[in-house]
Amino acid sequence: MNPMALRVVLGIAIAGVPTLMAGTWVSGAGKRLARIESGELAAEDADDEGKVAVAAAADEGYCNGDLRKILRRVLKSCGLLGTGEVRGCQPVQAKSVATMTGDDFNALFLPLQKKAGIIQFDKDSAELDPADTALLDKIFAAQGGASYFFVVARSSPDGSTDHNRELSQKRADSVMAHLRKNFADPALDREVGLLWLGEEYAQLAQDFCAWDRSGGADKCKPKDINRSAFVAWIDCRL
Amino acid sequence: MSPQPMPGRIHVAILLLACLAGLVFASVSTFDFAQHLDRQEHQLHCSFIPGQHAEAAPGESLGCQVTMMSPYSSVLRAVVWGGVPVSLPAMGVFAFLAFRAIDLFGRRGRGRRSSAALLFACAWIPVIASAVMGAIALFELDAACKVCIGIYGSSLVTVLAAGLAFASLRRPTDDGGDEGPQPSAGAIWGLGLVQLGTFVAVPILAYVTLMPDYSRYVGTCGKLRDTQDPGGVMVALDANDGAPPAIEVFDPLCPACRGFDRRLAASGLDRKLHRLAVLFPLEEACNWMVEGAVHPGACTISEAILCASEGKGPSTKAVIDWAFEQQERIREAAKADPNAAKSLVVERFPELGACVGSAAIQQRLNRGLRWAVDHELPVLTPQLYVGGTKLCPEDTDLGLDYSLTRLLERRGGEP
């Protein structure tokens, strides 16, 4: 063969190698892409959109069916679900919607101990002192994925029932006012549920002394622990 | 009388082998790049042994991965999805040098010397390219890519062998007069350069022509319900207030986020956007959506960024840049001691000490995570939403320039 022709053939052959390889790889990728699009081939390595978890609120193991049902009922009846308004739940309402004894009601909150605390007030007072606000801030900041923050305010049996009902409402409002002032959270009204129970329903037993409290060690008699607002985040999706 | 053996024959043979080695390494690199054109993740051949796959340790990126995903691995990225890999013209150049080396065996006399000179001159092309790419890998990317090193080595041997072959042919020891008229040196050089152009251009043309149409994927990966920020969870990353808002969901200790940030900066498209960050640390300590600490220390560093955004000392950018720079160190330290991340922040930015870990800043970080819940975002980082439209996850690396340019065009903004 003519040396020039040989060179031309050789040149085309060698230049064809990268061309052929590049072309094969690109068209191969194109075919795979088409097969992925048609669903023939699973996008198993990169396009995991379908498999990647979607961001969602926390839903802890303690959120069993019963708890969820009662929470929904309480939240709805007390105006916290649906309208998004914080209205709060008075003792009579709480008792009727919970349809359970005070002890059973309190038992609902037992699994929440890690994200709960008891803000203890002075006698006949709804003022938060520095220890109270410190504990409240700490607990509120530890929201994590929780959807609801319950403030369950109580009073000791000292004084009239009406006065205690009013006092416990003031305690709940005091907590809410502090949260509103210190945490610029636009979702606050959707998250925080206020219940004021006065002295009438679900008084805390002395067992709760072991919980995170703002009162000192000497303030754990039944009366002390019920001059309080029990605050807790609830990691349940409803 | 039999013809004298060609001087420098051994050098030309070595040159040919080096060219073939360079061609193989460049082909492996191009193959690795091209297989990503299906928008999927793939294993890379990060080894000195062509064909051998390599696995990165969890949380680490292979040198080849860093190099390939860097903005320097390809050119024309805004025009072609992923760009044209630089290893593709390298394949053409090595193929051309191999062709000229074979051709040299068949040449005589003055033509042989001109041919050797051309070969020697062209052999500098991969050497110069290797020097540039090697310097980028070493000083800019801090990554060693074994396949690339294979190309650098082949280039070096090629130029040395070409130089020795040229030196041995400089003296006209064989005149080759029996082959008739020889082409002039100018003709050899002219033809050689045309050949070089052809060897480089044809594979590129084939590559670009056969690519699928990626523009149809742009803007098809979902939208945010709204781009409002009532909870003040977003952190402005620039002052481009007039530009289209681009919400970036990222974790400051996520290597992919760092890579994304660097690619975005290298593309220059960051200047066309008003970037707003939503911090999404992949660490269980503050993010209930992940199990364990994917990136230990990410919660604390995210808090530091939020603190900086509130004007408590350094600029937000300074903290993010530091976090990206120190990712490995912070993660390692926080893995051993959960408080180490805060110590490192305070050591570098003492003015943030009082803010990091405060209830208010933890709550702000939490609001960001709940913003992600409200918008039902996937639990992954990084994510970019331009004017509320999501940049597909498959387009956040190689296809970033191409897809983002088109996303901006579709919004009516100048890309």
Residue A106 has pLDDT above 50, yes or no: yes
Whether B372 contacts chain A with CB within 8 A: yes
DSSP state of B138: I
- In this structure, what is the dihedral angle of CA atoms B123, B126, B131, B134, given to the nearest 10 degrees? -150
B72 with B92, same domain: the answer is yes
Cβ atoms of residues A216 and A129 within 8 Å:
no
Contact B23 A18 (CB under 8 A): yes
Q: Which of B198, B289, B363 sits opposite A141 (nearest CB)?
A: B363
Determine what percent of chain B is predicted with pLDDT higher than 70. Answer: 89
B202 with B225, same domain: the answer is no
Amino acid making up residue B171: R
Partners of residue B34 in chain A, C-beta under 8 Å: 22, 25-26, 28-29
Report the 10 Å Cβ neighbour count for B334. 26
B192 with B316, same domain: the answer is no
pLDDT reported for residue A49: 47
Most confident residue range from A29-43, B51-65, B109-123, B325-339: B325-339
Q: For residue range B170-215, what is the model confidence (pLDDT) as tens digits?
A: 665 554 444 556 677 788 889 999 999 999 999 999 999 999 999 9
Domain boundaries, position B53 = 9-209
Q: Is residue B398 part of a domain?
A: yes
B151 with B242, same domain: the answer is no
How many domains in chain B? 2
B149 with B236, same domain: the answer is no
B142 with B16, same domain: the answer is yes
pTM exceeds 0.80: no
Residue A87 has pLDDT above 80, yes or no: no
**Distance, CA of B319 to CA of A152 (rounded, Å):** 41
Let me know the angle formed at the C-alpha of B335 by B352 and B58, rounded to the nearest 5 degrees. 120
Question: The CATH number of the domain where B353 resides is what?
Answer: 3.40.30.10
**Distance, CA of B404 to CA of B3 (rounded, Å):** 63
pLDDT reported for residue B27: 95
B315 with B184, same domain: the answer is no
- Beta bridge partners, B283, equal B293
Q: How confident is the model at residue B414 (pLDDT cuts 50, 70, 90)?
A: very low
Whether B359 contacts chain A with CB within 8 A: yes
Residue B1 has pLDDT above 60, yes or no: no
Residue A220 has pLDDT above 90, yes or no: no
Spatial CA neighbour of A1 closest among B144, B106, B389: B106
Contact B379 A32 (CB under 8 A): no
**Distance, CA of A126 to CA of B143 (rounded, Å):** 62
Domain boundary among B209, B229, B258: B209
- Shortest distance between the Cα of B91 and any Cα of chain A, in A, equals 6
Partners of residue A21 in chain B, C-beta under 8 Å: 27, 30-31, 91, 203
Residue B317 has pLDDT above 80, yes or no: yes
Q: For residue range A136-174, what is the model confidence (pLDDT) as tens digits?
A: 999 998 888 998 888 999 999 998 999 999 999 999 999
Q: Is residue B1 part of a domain?
A: no
B201 with B272, same domain: the answer is no
Q: Considering only residues B310 and B171, tell me which one the structure prediction assigns the higher pLDDT.
A: B310
Contact B378 A49 (CB under 8 A): yes
pLDDT reported for residue A120: 96
B247 with B395, same domain: the answer is yes
Top residue of A143, A180, A190 to mutate, by most chain B CBs within 10 Å, is: A143
Residues 6+ apart with CB under 8 A from B241: B274
B94 with B243, same domain: the answer is no
Question: The CATH number of the domain where B167 resides is what?
Answer: 1.20.1440
Cβ atoms of residues B197 and B363 within 8 Å:
no
Amino acid making up residue A133: T
Half-sphere exposure of B41 (CA within 13 A, CB side): 12
Domain boundary among B151, B178, B209: B209
Interfacial B residues in 278-317 facing A (CB < 8 Å):
286, 288-289
- Shortest distance between the Cα of B325 and any Cα of chain A, in A, equals 26
Residue A121 has pLDDT above 90, yes or no: yes
pLDDT reported for residue A47: 44
B60 with B140, same domain: the answer is yes
Q: Is residue B3 part of a domain?
A: no
Residue B413 has pLDDT above 70, yes or no: no
- Shortest distance between the Cα of A132 and any Cα of chain B, in A, equals 14
Residue B130 has pLDDT above 50, yes or no: yes
- Beta bridge partners, B246, equal B275, B386
**Distance, CA of B86 to CA of B68 (rounded, Å):** 10
**What sign does the CA torsion over B230, B232, B234, B238 have?**
positive
Partners of residue B375 in chain A, C-beta under 8 Å: 55
Partners of residue A7 in chain B, C-beta under 8 Å: 103, 106
Phi-psi domain of B258 (left: phi exceeds 0; alpha: psi -120 through 50; beta: other):
alpha
**Distance, CA of B269 to CA of B78 (rounded, Å):** 10
Query: What's the burial of A105, exposed, middle or buried (CB within 10 Å: 0-12/13-18/19+)?
Result: buried
The average pLDDT across A106-133 equals: 91
Distances (CA, A) of A74 to A175, B39, B53, B307: 20, 49, 59, 38
Residue A78 has pLDDT above 80, yes or no: no
Interfacial B residues in 206-245 facing A (CB < 8 Å):
206-207, 210-212, 221, 230-232
Mean of the per-residue pLDDT values for chain A? 84
The ipTM is 0.81
**Distance, CA of B292 to CA of B334 (rounded, Å):** 13
